[in-house]
Amino acid sequence: MARPFWRGQLRLALVTCPINLTPVITERDKVRFHKLNRETGNRLRMQMIDSETEDVVDRDETVMGYEFAKGKYVTVENEELEKLKIESSDVIDIERVVPIEEVDWLYWEKPYLLEPDARGKGARSTVDIFATIRDALKAKEVAGLGHAVIGRRERPVMIQPRGKGMMLVTLRDPDEIRKPEEAFDDIDNVKVDKDNLHMAETPIERISGKFDRGMFEDRYQEALHKLVAAKQKGKKIVFAEEPQRDSNVVDITEALKASLRGASKGEGARAAPKRRPAARSKSTRKRGKRAA
């Protein structure tokens, strides 16, 4: 289990429960590169340079500053930030509940695992309270809305049951979202030809299926792993040819008809696969040779 990055309380009315938050997203398998000195092969370090004196400044000699006017700053110490807390720094209060479908997924930002912090003497009681809140939300088929201080920002959050635990998703500010309906206003209204629509529906029906997690395989990361492994072994790198780019469709009707013809040929091949010849006995093979 990953180490929780946030610990606090979940509160529903007068009921509170200690909880942990852990990011759902992990990048531990991602190929990462470092900057190296081409001549020595040594790894390079980032340094902080004073913009006026050009002196190198050590990390313990730095302080954070807010620029309130051009070239003028007010400084803030880390200790001051640690002491700067509001209620949602430690407590996520379920302020409102809404049907989950009412929260447009455009506002969903980052998911977290929400689990009971079952440590110490009150572990059993903690799990009981956690399960009660979880099952109450599940029974009403609603999500809880509240606020939490994450990354030095108070963010609106949505909480919903999932299995034996719960999920917390931070929500984006509506001002950060481009509304699709407004963005699509410039698209011309066209009347789609019924025959073309029917032909377009046919391949959609053909490729319909269930959601498959295998589609999330990152082929580029796989190629990076192979590249690094080959270079470690001193092998010659063979790169694939760049794929040809399709030109713009000129006649959509002909393109759809060609798609259907191609699909029909593919179906025929799948419907009647080539059978491997049956194995012949030794005596049969010998008779065949003599006849030849």
Q: Give domain limits for the chain.
A: 7-25+87-176
- Specify burial of residue 122 (Cβ count, 10 A radius: 0-12, 13-18, 19+): middle
Question: DSSP readout, 231-280?
Answer: HHTTPPP-PPPPPPPPPPPS-HHHHHHHHHHHHHHHHHHHHSPPPPPPPP
Of the CA atoms within 13 Å of residue 1, those in its CB half-sphere come to 10
DSSP 119: -
216's tokens: 């999330």
Strand partners, 151: none
Helix (H) or strand (E) holding 80: helix 78-83
CA-closest candidate to residue 107, choices 182, 180, 183, 176: 176
Instruction: Quote the CA–CA distance of 171 and 148 in Å, as a whole number.
Output: 11
Task: Going residue by residue through the chain, which has 292 residues, state the pLDDT in tens, using 9 for 90 and above.
Answer: 567 889 999 999 889 999 999 999 876 777 788 899 899 989 988 889 988 898 999 888 898 898 989 989 998 888 888 777 778 888 999 999 999 899 999 999 999 999 999 877 778 889 999 999 999 999 999 999 999 988 888 889 999 999 999 999 999 988 888 888 888 888 888 888 888 888 888 888 887 888 777 767 777 777 788 888 888 888 887 777 766 666 665 677 777 777 777 766 665 444 444 444 444 444 444 444 444 3
Look at domain 7-25+87-176 and name its CATH class.
mainly beta
